[in-house]
């Protein structure tokens, strides 16, 4: 069981980077193959907007996944995500490598994961987050368990919660006067 944080503001204060798993977090976890063997993934538009808002707020977003596939490369390119590591079943060493490239420490990281391979990373970072439908062990390792499921806006929910706690969400709201 992770150490519980007393408030969202306390949890969010040091966070400058979000690392996310793909299957079960940015997707609903289903792996679909076409008749030709091409892997197909579905991503939620709200997660994409949330990632863009996080990055335009001056923070870093990275993808760390055990599987490899062109859909992840395409989605990352569409969103402007430059930190992508695929094919790493042992995620903590890969996360350490990515953090070195980004230039931040583990306590500055929010990691969103949903299953057993994510837990070693979740145990090392400043803020561990799990979608509502994550495996029970991943939920137990999380500081925050979200209301949204994987592939259903979970990453957006985490980003919005972080930006609100940092008093940065208002920067992205438009008033009826367009400001």
Binding residues for Mg(2+): 21, 114
Binding site for substrate: what residues are annotated? 23
Angle at 175 between CA 169 and CA 179, to 5 degrees: 85
SS3 state at 178: coil
- Let me know: does 26 contact 18? Beta carbons within 8 Å: no
Binding site: what residues are annotated? 21, 23, 114
CA–CA distances in Å: residue 100 to residues 16, 106, 131, 159 = 14, 10, 26, 22
Compute the distance between CA of residue 179 and CA of residue 166 in angstroms, rounded to an integer: 20
């Amino acid at each position: 069981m992770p150490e519980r944080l007393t408030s969202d503001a306390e949890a969010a204060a040091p966070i400058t980077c979000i690392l996310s798993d793909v299957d079960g977090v940015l997707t609903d976890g289903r792996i679909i193959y076409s008749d030709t063997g091409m892997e197909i993934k579905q991503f939620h538009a709200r997660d994409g907007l949330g990632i863009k808002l996080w990055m335009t707020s001056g923070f870093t977003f990275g993808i760390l996944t055990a599987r490899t596939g062109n859909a992840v490369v395409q989605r990352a390119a569409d969103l402007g995500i430059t930190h992508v590591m695929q094919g790493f079943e042992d995620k903590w060493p890969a996360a350490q490598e990515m953090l070195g490239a980004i230039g931040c420490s583990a306590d500055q990281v929010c990691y969103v994961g949903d299953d057993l391979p994510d837990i070693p990373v979740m145990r090392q970072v400043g803020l561990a987050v799990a979608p509502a439908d994550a495996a029970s062990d991943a939920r137990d390792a999380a500081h925050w368990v979200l209301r949204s499921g994987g592939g259903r806006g979970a990453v957006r929910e985490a980003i919005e919660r972080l930006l609100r706690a940092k008093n940065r969400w208002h920067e992205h709201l438009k008033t009826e006067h367009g400001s």
